[in-house]
Chain A
């Protein structure tokens, strides 16, 4: 085990810094859009390579720690790369590249303003995301968590109109408010009682800590990381749909929301420890809260006519799936929950890409206007279909695998009632996705508003959903790509 890692010790920090370094470069090349986007792609590629360079080492069962800076006595800004962090980084960094292609297609087609600012803050947000993925302790995680909240604000409010202002206010109020009012004191209390914020599988709390304060802490963390969208702190997410679609796609299907879920899962696995959660029966509490969110949000999704808002409510439900899965505190449940981070990311980003492509090509935002659109945009709508399969959990898309694990996890944890939640919500998922697809392809000619020649969005906006939809299918056949990292993580 003691052989040295085949990469620089500072690689995790470099992977975080890459996109930050790109920010000034993007800013000064504002006048030459091709050069500007070149920096984005270069940073994205370097970041991906840096992440990949560590993957083999992690798969071999190692972890890698790098201390950047001692910021409080005994408390480091510490990067630690392990299986779970690697999984998240491997989801986020390639999707940044794909989203950047899509951004170019989307932003240029719509001739959006302030694109330089847009690409700058996008890069900062990605740094923060990778920072969260590679955080070695709760303090570092909190640092990057806040950085992400702030850096995404200009993205969410990109249009700078009244609607954007309202959405942006809600966004910051919820995210900043909960992190300051709940997560920060919870972190300080944890540090005071346990004397450590380092993630470890056994948890940080000394044996015999009484259950009542632990339950309070758990709730503070659960609601404090409101990026995970647990009700009643969810309504920032539909509000944030005022953002341009690439932002919604990457940040609100992958980066921001998954950072919330990732943080909560880290708290479950690294601060409390799954055994402690099971011993104190805190898993029942978590499953009740997350289960309610799953059901309520799925029901709310049914009634949304704005496609992006429907996707947002679907995301809220799927995020709670993940928390539900890991919160079961059984091995299979944890595997399923973590895997769902990846599976849902690829599925949901496809759906958002498609929503944006429809908007670019036809200017349509509402589902009721999309009858027959499948004949006009067959490629886009096929990708949409595959994405929805993955989110519902049907073959041949990756979502099925993670859901199977979670269902088994519920049995393993002897919480059979959770199965009912999975069953009902899967039906609801199907109920809010299939009508869209059905109307798009088979809507009768009277209902169809879209007839005429094929009219796909520009290439740059069509390629990304095709790529991510393909990835969803590939993940169905080869879930090991991500599952191996989880196995390694849970084995340690």
Chain B
């Protein structure tokens, strides 16, 4: 297997995995699980290989992979640069961990449709990885639809109210996809190509720079993506859809879907359009950053109001999307670095928290705040993992959450956008309240006559199964590792991912 083929293996492995699972996954419940894990492991190791390859030649430009050796503009190419190499690794890594984690949860949640579930799981991951790797703007749309269709089916697997919540998401998601597709249509008419790099080459022409059609295309694509990533005020569909679904689905979808959409936004801004176009011709910066600040505040306040753990986390996602959109639109290197870094760190933090909550729900059968009662004694390892995720969300060094905030705050201050700075600090404080409230519930015994202070009833330790604990532990460890390796990640990769004209 030559190194050049890694780029396509990243996507093919889960795609073929989906095929295999749908064909033979019904034979035995083990087969589906093992095939999925194997496919994702292959995909993940390819992302690692690609990442190291890209890192080694970061200064020389991206890797190109031509599908079937058809050259653009006729063929579709995969373009791997430091930006999407990082996102690919995160997506493949998190989905592999969630796949391992899913062994017990899927068996409990969808015992009769196990291999259908895993087929969709693999398809969703293939779609997300494809979106991230492709260098073709229409191909991106197709892969978005693959991922979206798979995610609709997965989200609806929660049954009951999940059907209604997912239906709402289907409507919103389809509108978003249509907006995107319309925008792509305009661009195709004006440029005659669907290849991102070629399209960008046209964008510098003065005729296109001030063309109304291009302007409309940009607006349509952005709004479409904002719906997809649940950017305030287009976030209404997300909390219900992500809360009502099964544990496994929320662990998979919550960390990845919104983050990949944010990646696409950054890619379109600087890989299809240009930095001067996005920042100067549109003249949106201040307005978008204000909207992002509102998203952060609204998401944080929304999270405060929740008593359902998963729903609380979904509102935090809404706030975190504000972090990334705001960072990308601040218009300086620190802000964009923060946004890109936060794609990685937020993916890890969200995965960690959703998996921990999933494990607690798995053992207690509860999803409300009360599920945390006594969790430090009952499930010490899970509780410790939850604490790491929580501290990262608050932004305590040396977790990766701290360093995202460091760059985003630097960007906000450098841009003089104090509203965004205040919103970030506000959300850190709200997160502190949110998570310490949960730690408190987990830490204190019930205040009743029987359990006086100092007298502990015999508490039976009932940890989650090992297949859940190990991926959670790895995720929590990665939160710290990514935090400690921030310097390498930023100066070795993200710095090269910034568009020309922005320098740290």
Query: Which positions in A face B, CB cutoff 8 Å?
Result: 69-73, 75, 111-114, 142-143, 146, 150, 154, 157, 159-162, 164-165, 168-169, 172, 176-177, 180-181, 184-185, 188-189, 191-192
A72-B486, A177-B429 as given contacts; A159 in contact with B397, CB under 8 Å: no
A161 and B413 form a contact (CB under 8 A) = no
Closest to A165 in B: B444
Docked Cα-Cα span, A111 to B454, in Å, equals 9
A172 and B491 form a contact (CB under 8 A) = no
21 contacts between A and B (CB under 8 A): A69-B484, A72-B403, A72-B406, A72-B486, A73-B490, A73-B504, A112-B454, A113-B453, A150-B391, A157-B444, A159-B454, A160-B443, A160-B445, A160-B454, A165-B440, A172-B432, A172-B436, A180-B432, A181-B425, A188-B406, A192-B410
Docked Cα-Cα span, A188 to B398, in Å, equals 15
Chain A hits for B487, CB < 8 A: 70-73, 75
Q: Is B396 an interface residue (CB 8 A)?
A: yes
B406 and A159 form a contact (CB under 8 A) = no
Query: Which positions in B face A, CB cutoff 8 Å?
Result: 391, 394-398, 403, 405-406, 409-410, 413-414, 421, 425, 428-429, 432, 436, 440, 443-445, 447, 452-456, 483-484, 486-487, 490-491, 504
Chain A hits for B490, CB < 8 A: 72-73
Chain A hits for B409, CB < 8 A: 184-185, 188
Docked Cα-Cα span, A168 to B443, in Å, equals 11
Docked Cα-Cα span, A180 to B421, in Å, equals 12
Chain B hits for A143, CB < 8 A: 397-398
A150 and B440 form a contact (CB under 8 A) = no
Excluding A160-B454, A164-B453, A185-B413, 12 further A-B contacts by CB distance (< 8 Å) are: A71-B483, A72-B406, A113-B456, A143-B398, A146-B397, A154-B443, A161-B453, A172-B436, A184-B405, A184-B409, A184-B425, A188-B406
Closest to B454 in A: A113
Chain B hits for A69, CB < 8 A: 484
Chain A hits for B453, CB < 8 A: 113, 159-161, 164
A150-B396, A181-B425 as given contacts; A71 in contact with B440, CB under 8 Å: no
Docked Cα-Cα span, A157 to B442, in Å, equals 13
Most A Cβ at <10 Å: residue of B391, B421, B444, B504: B444
Chain A hits for B397, CB < 8 A: 142-143, 146
Docked Cα-Cα span, A165 to B398, in Å, equals 27
A180 and B429 form a contact (CB under 8 A) = yes
Most A Cβ at <10 Å: residue of B395, B414, B453, B486: B453
CB distance from A440 to the nearest CB of B (A): 29
A113 and B443 form a contact (CB under 8 A) = no
CB distance from B334 to the nearest CB of A (A): 9
Closest to A176 in B: B432
Chain B hits for A177, CB < 8 A: 429, 432
Main secondary structure of the interface of A (DSSP, over half): helix
A169 and B440 form a contact (CB under 8 A) = yes
CB distance from B331 to the nearest CB of A (A): 16
Chain A hits for B414, CB < 8 A: 192
Docked Cα-Cα span, A188 to B402, in Å, equals 12
Chain B hits for A160, CB < 8 A: 443-445, 453-454
Out of B405, B436, B447, B491, name the residue touching A162 (CB < 8 Å).
B447
A189 and B398 form a contact (CB under 8 A) = no
Chain B hits for A164, CB < 8 A: 453
A143-B397, A180-B432 as given contacts; A192 in contact with B440, CB under 8 Å: no
Chain A hits for B454, CB < 8 A: 111-113, 159-160
Chain B hits for A72, CB < 8 A: 403, 406, 486-487, 490
Out of A71, A162, A185, A188, name the residue touching B486 (CB < 8 Å).
A71
Docked Cα-Cα span, A284 to B363, in Å, equals 59
Most A Cβ at <10 Å: residue of B396, B429, B456: B396
Closest to B440 in A: A165
Docked Cα-Cα span, A142 to B405, in Å, equals 14
A188 and B410 form a contact (CB under 8 A) = yes
- For the complex of A and B, the 4 pairs showing the least CB-CB separation, nearest first, are A161-B453, A113-B454, A73-B491, A70-B487
CB distance from B479 to the nearest CB of A (A): 14
Chain B hits for A172, CB < 8 A: 432, 436
CB distance from B335 to the nearest CB of A (A): 13
Chain B hits for A114, CB < 8 A: 456
B398 and A185 form a contact (CB under 8 A) = no
Chain B hits for A73, CB < 8 A: 487, 490-491, 504
Chain A hits for B398, CB < 8 A: 71, 143
Chain A hits for B394, CB < 8 A: 176, 180
CB distance from A126 to the nearest CB of B (A): 19
CB distance from B497 to the nearest CB of A (A): 14
Chain A hits for B432, CB < 8 A: 172, 176-177, 180
A73-B491, A185-B409, A189-B413 as given contacts; A180 in contact with B425, CB under 8 Å: yes
Chain B hits for A112, CB < 8 A: 454
Closest to B445 in A: A160
A161 and B447 form a contact (CB under 8 A) = yes
Most B Cβ at <10 Å: residue of A73, A143, A157, A191: A73
Chain A hits for B403, CB < 8 A: 71-72
B429 and A113 form a contact (CB under 8 A) = no
Chain B hits for A189, CB < 8 A: 413
Chain A hits for B486, CB < 8 A: 71-72
